[in-house]
Amino acid sequence: MADLPRTPEPAPDEESFRLLVESIVDYAIFMVSPQGRVTTWNRGAERLKGYKSGEILGAHFSCFYTPEDVVAGKPTRELEAAAKDGRFEDEGWRTRKDGSRFWASVTLTALYGQDGVLRGYSKVTRDLTRKKLEEERFRVVVDAAPNAMIMVDKDGLIVLVNSTAEKLFGYARHELLHQPIELLVPQRFRGSHPGHRRNFFAAPQARAMGAGRDLYGLLKDGREVPIEIGLNPLETMEGTFVLASIIDITERKRAEELRAAKEAMEAVTREMETFSYSCAHDLRAPLRKIAGFGEALKQETAGQLSEASRDFLERIQHNVLQMDGIIEGLLKLSRVLQQEPRSESVDLSRLVKDIGEGLRAAQPDRAVEFVVRDGIVIEGDPEFLQIILSNLLENSWKFTAKHARARIEFGAERKGPETVYFVRDDGAGFDMAHADKLFGAFKRLHAPGQFPGAGIGLATVQRVVRRHGGRIWAEAELERGATF
């Protein structure tokens, strides 16, 4: 069957249209004359602004504006803009009859007759106060965030920046708003960044940006900083936005690099310690053979060698003993570095007295006064603490040997938040100009002929102290003693 021609539906008459407009309650819809006088009024306008039609018809529409906007000439400018461009849109504060304010979305449209003459304006106003307050609360929360926060629209333009982002990137807020986000992206990444952004908006979901890749931000001064970025999509009436949370990880990167360097150094140190221990251990066997053959030769040739030959043989034996002491020091140092310290209560005062008695028994003719403060007890490794105190006290005993009478003191004192333990003597001392060499292995501040020793004792002491989380230093004066 052929299609029958349709009869056009009648256009709604003016009365129907008027009734339709008046029935709308969510929008204020009214008309004003070319001079800005209110000529129509709907129920939505009465509900939003508080005026009944009898109160407002004929009044100038500037009564809906804040006093400061009226003084600034805003109502007149809006009419002029609508007359020129045909339409004007704005968001801003407006006032009700009772003086209260609301945040309004306003559309002002110029109405022209067929003759081209301006007949007036239609004005549609919507209350967006709740939306405005929510946005303000959102901005306050974002601005108070400890991380840099930047919100970007679908076109990649920055629409929101918090104060932390200003500090991080070095830009003032007005310098970033409405700028492309690529402003903050290093040049070498800018070409690919729009594609990444499009992919995110195509399937928006909260996630970390650039997983598995190093990310960098470009500061205003041209420097780059390593950053981490978390992306969060936000669905709004204006469309989808992405809120980026940005963290400067410069300090974390630096700490990671330092930790990696430290671990590499520790690995090298462990290898060197193992090597040193092996070398020292392997050297000891042939050295003892040399010492044994030297002693056998001395006994076999007694009375047959010349004085010069006997002197050479004694020098060989002396150097063998000296070398054995160095190897023993190296082995002890290696054991200290490889062994984990234990922790238990140790009476340092008792330990010092025992070591002092041992030194006196070895050289009973020495006139040395030991002054030991009683009751010094700490938590630590007994073996390691024995090493520390034995080395320090033996040094004091050795470097006071050229004094007829000597004094060696052990004690403790508070210095701020720290407890400082000390061994003090009145012996040879040393020049403080060379104090930086004091704790190096095989470093000696006196000529080899002055005092015996291999130069390993204080190096061992320093390492043991560090293993306990402490530090050691020395103060001294030539021929007036030293304090460790």
pLDDT in tens, 255-314: 888 888 887 776 656 655 665 655 555 566 676 777 777 777 777 776 777 777 777 777
Count of all residues that appear for the chain in the document:
484
pLDDT at 8 over 80: no
**Residue pointed to by tokens 């400890």:** 146
Please determine whether the domains at 14-127 and 132-248 fall in the same fold group of CATH. Answer: yes
Q: How confident is the model at residue 2 (pLDDT cuts 50, 70, 90)?
A: very low
Which residues are registered as beta bridge partners of 241?
234
With CA atoms as reference, report the closest residue to 468 among 373, 336, 374, 328.
Answer: 336
Q: What is the rounded average pLDDT of the residues 8-31? A: 64
Q: Given this structure, which CATH class describes domain 341-483?
A: alpha beta
Weakest-pLDDT range from 33-37, 238-242, 431-435, 439-443: 439-443
Q: What is the rounded average pLDDT of the residues 431-460? A: 65
Cα distance between residue 438 and residue 474, in whole Å? 8
Question: Residue 451 corresponds to which tokens in the numbers above?
Answer: 């005092």
pLDDT at 24 over 60: yes
pLDDT of residue 62: 93
pLDDT tens per residue across span 73-114: 999 999 999 999 999 999 899 999 999 999 998 999 999 988
pLDDT of residue 482: 87
Q: What is the rounded average pLDDT of the residues 2-24? A: 52
CA dihedral defined by 21, 25, 31, 37, rounded to 10 degrees? 150
Of residues 456 and 124, the one with the higher pLDDT is 124
Q: What is the rounded average pLDDT of the residues 384-399? A: 86
Domain 132-248 is of which CATH architecture? 2-Layer Sandwich (3.30)
Helix (H) or strand (E) holding 300: helix 250-300
14-127: which CATH number, 3.40.718.10, 3.30.450.20, 3.30.2130.10, 3.90.600.10? 3.30.450.20
pLDDT of residue 61: 94
pLDDT at 160 over 50: yes
pLDDT at 454 over 60: no
pLDDT of residue 179: 93
Q: What percent of the chain has pLDDT over 90?
A: 28
pLDDT of residue 14: 59
For the chain, how big is the Rg over CA atoms in Å?
45
What is the topology classification, in CATH, of domain 253-336?
Answer: Helix Hairpins (1.10.287)
Q: How confident is the model at residue 212 (pLDDT cuts 50, 70, 90)?
A: low
Of residues 453 and 478, the one with the higher pLDDT is 478
pLDDT of residue 449: 53
Cα distance between residue 363 and residue 356, in whole Å? 11
pLDDT at 186 over 50: yes
Weakest-pLDDT range from 105-119, 306-320, 411-425: 306-320
Of residues 453 and 202, the one with the higher pLDDT is 202
Q: Which long-range contacts (CB under 8 A, 24 or more apart) does 352-355 make?
A: 352/389, 352/393, 352/410, 355/389, 355/390, 355/393, 355/394
pLDDT at 427 over 60: yes
> What is the edge-to-edge ordering of all strands in the sheet holding 405-415?
367-372, 405-415, 418-425, 481-483, 475-477
Of residues 211 and 235, the one with the higher pLDDT is 235
pLDDT at 240 over 70: yes
pLDDT at 10 over 50: no
Of residues 209 and 419, the one with the higher pLDDT is 419
Domain ranges of the chain: 14-127, 132-248, 253-336, 341-483
pTM: 0.44
Question: Residue 406 corresponds to which tokens in the numbers above?
Answer: 């000597």
Cα distance between residue 47 and residue 359, in whole Å? 104
Cα distance between residue 119 and residue 35, in whole Å? 10
Cα distance between residue 272 and residue 34, in whole Å? 94
CB–CB of 353/372 below 8 Å?
A: yes
pLDDT tens per residue across span 213-232: 788 989 999 999 998 888 88
